[in-house]
Amino acid sequence: MAGLHLTDHPLIQHKISLMRDKNTGAKEFRELVSETAMLICYEATRDLPLKEVEIATPLAVAKTKIISGRKLAFVPILRAGLGMIDGVTNMVPAAKIGHIGMFRDDENCNVIKYYCKLPEDVAERDVIVVDPMLATGNTAVDAISEIKAAGVKNIKFMFIIASPQGIERLQSAHPDVDIYCGAKDDGLDENNYIIPGLGDAGDRIFGTK
- Interacting residue ranges for ligand URA, rule: CB under 6 A: 80, 133, 135, 193-194, 197, 200-202
In the complex, least distance from residue 26 CB atom to ligand URA, rounded to whole angstroms: 14
For residue 116, count other CB atoms closer than 10 A to its CB.
17
In the complex, least distance from residue 51 CB atom to ligand URA, rounded to whole angstroms: 40
Nearest-angstrom CA–CA distance, 12 and 110: 33
CB nearer ligand URA, residue 118 or residue 198: 198
Nearest-angstrom CA–CA distance, 159 and 141: 13
Nearest-angstrom CA–CA distance, 100 and 131: 11
CB nearer ligand URA, residue 140 or residue 177: 140
In the complex, least distance from residue 81 CB atom to ligand URA, rounded to whole angstroms: 10
CB nearer ligand URA, residue 135 or residue 152: 135
CB nearer ligand URA, residue 78 or residue 91: 78
In the complex, least distance from residue 144 CB atom to ligand URA, rounded to whole angstroms: 17
CA atoms within 13 A on the CB side of 10: 0
Is the Cα dihedral 135, 141, 147, 151 positive or negative? Answer: positive
> Beta strand pairing status for 99-104 and 71-78?
parallel
